[in-house]
Every structure is written in C-alpha cells, then in structure tokens.
C-alpha cells in the first residue's frame, strides 16, 4: 500500500467525549482505517492499565503511554523512559511538607503516598476509569516509575518547575499535573515507533486536544486538533476538525482524505 499512513490518537477529549464515551462514528472510522491498510495507534498521557478495555474494543496493540515514556509496538515494549528515582524521592518529600499528594505510576499500577486526599479523588474520578490509587508510600522504591501525578492548584507547580529540572510538569486537571522526565513527550514516543516502521513524514497523522499534545500536533506533518480542544492545541496543529460529539474524528479523517 503506497499511501499507507500511521495515525496516532489521543484518548481523553479525542477518542472519548466528555462523558468518556466512544462515539459510534469514531469506532467505525478506526476500523475503516485498518481495513484500508493504515496503522492505527494510541498516544496518551494515561497509564497502560487505564485504557486496556479501549484497546481491546478497538483492537489496537500499538500505543504510547505516559506521554511518551512507555511505548509498545505490535504488543511489544520497544522503549521506556523512567523518572529519575532520587529526584522523585526528593520531590515527594518536599510535596509532603506542602500537603501536595503524589501518585506513583509504573506500567502495572498506581499507588498514592497518602491514604486519601480530596484532590486525588476529585481529579481522578473525572477519568471515569473505575479505579483509584491504593496507599503505598514506598511504591516508588526499587521500581521504574514512568510518570507521577502531583496534586496542587494552578500556579503551585511553579516551585517544582524551578526546583526539579529533571522533570517536566504538564497540567491535565485544575488540581493535578503530570510529572514526566524532562524532554519527554508523545512526539518523542512517536519517533520510536516511526523509526521502527519507516513510514515517511507525509504519511503520519495525529489527533489531539490538550496541552500534552502540543509537540505531537506541531511536529507530525498532519496534526489535527479537535474542535473541543485547547486553543494552544489548535494553534499547534495544521488542521482543526469538529468536536468529538460532532463526529470530529470521522470529519478529520475525511479532511485528510484517509476515508471516503
């Protein structure tokens, strides 16, 4: 197939609507892409265990988790980029003194350093994944952590940004930021897959809506921002489609002439 494309899709606000539902038009479009011989992949800030059901429903086995820190191609892990363990321990100690909870995340589970906190409950319940982190303040010791969640209000992350240069901090909720290795991004994870598959840049597309999609949308030749997306995402992308609820994925793929 000379026109074989690879298309990367974010999950929240892109594949899934505000209610975390997968529109029928989106599901049909994904399978239509695969029937035409295109490669379909997911690129998300979520942990692998947070969207296993979605991968099964869409029959996708190539995916980028943790904003590029855990990359799987055809069911095989091809790249990992864990957090600096000593810096994470130091950040956690500082966060405790400021009443900012931390959730540690590896490829299998997530554990919180506190038993409960309203910030954790309020933000994670918006994902509607049916699970919350259990308590284990030692979970980060002796394990590779690919992302952490730091719970603080907007602006409070500035101290951490200035203090911990080993990490990037990306806000995904008014009460929480993702903590990832400095320079880590979905775009970096995508490059690991592209290097393996050798698909040319003109045959690469990506759909996203949020701040953690900026590098992906700007660096992929056919970057498409959702109509419901952040204004910065729309500015970073080459194209803007309709919102998720308005069959935005289908419309965007038609706009790219990947579907009839």
Between CA 61 and CA 48 the distance in angstroms is: 11
Per the CB < 8 A criterion, the answer to whether 201 and 7 are in contact is no
Residue 105 tokens read as 């995340």
Q: Where are the alpha helices (DSSP H) in the chain?
A: 24-35, 52-58, 85-97, 118-124, 157-163, 186-197, 214-219, 231-236, 248-255
Helices (H), strands (E): how many in the chain?
Answer: 9, 14
Within 10 angstroms of residue 182's Cβ, the number of other Cβ atoms is: 13
What gap in Å lies between CA 138 and CA 144, rounded to an integer? 12
Answer yes or no: 10 catalytic. Answer: yes
Residue in 10, 168, 178, 209 annotated catalytic: 10
Active site residues: 10
């Amino acid at each position: 197939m000379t026109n074989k494309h690879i298309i990367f899709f974010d999950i929240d606000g892109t594949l899934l609507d505000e209610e975390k539902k997968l529109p029928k038009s989106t599901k049909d479009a994904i399978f239509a892409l695969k029937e035409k011989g295109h490669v379909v992949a997911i690129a998300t800030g979520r942990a692998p265990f947070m969207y296993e059901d979605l991968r099964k429903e869409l029959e996708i086995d190539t995916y980028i988790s943790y904003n590029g820190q855990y990359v799987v191609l055809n069911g095989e892990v091809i790249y990992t980029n864990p957090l600096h363990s000593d810096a994470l321990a130091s950040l956690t100690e500082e966060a405790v003194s400021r009443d900012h909870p931390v959730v540690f995340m590896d490829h299998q589970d997530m554990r919180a350093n506190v038993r409960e906190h309203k910030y954790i409950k309020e933000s994670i319940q918006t994902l509607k994944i049916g699970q919350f982190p259990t308590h284990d303040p030692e979970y980060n010791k002796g394990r590779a952590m690919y992302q952490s969640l730091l719970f603080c209000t907007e602006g409070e992350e500035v101290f951490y940004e200035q203090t911990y240069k080993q990490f990037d901090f990306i806000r995904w909720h008014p009460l929480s930021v993702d903590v990832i290795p400095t320079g880590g991004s979905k775009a970096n994870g995508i490059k690991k897959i592209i290097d393996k598959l050798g698909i040319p840049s003109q045959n690469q597309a990506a759909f996203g809506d949020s701040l953690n999609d900026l590098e992906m949308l700007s660096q992929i030749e056919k970057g498409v921002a959702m109509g419901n997306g952040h204004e910065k995402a729309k500015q970073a992308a080459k194209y803007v489609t309709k919102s998720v609820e308005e069959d935005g994925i289908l419309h965007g793929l038609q706009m790219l002439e990947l579907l009839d």
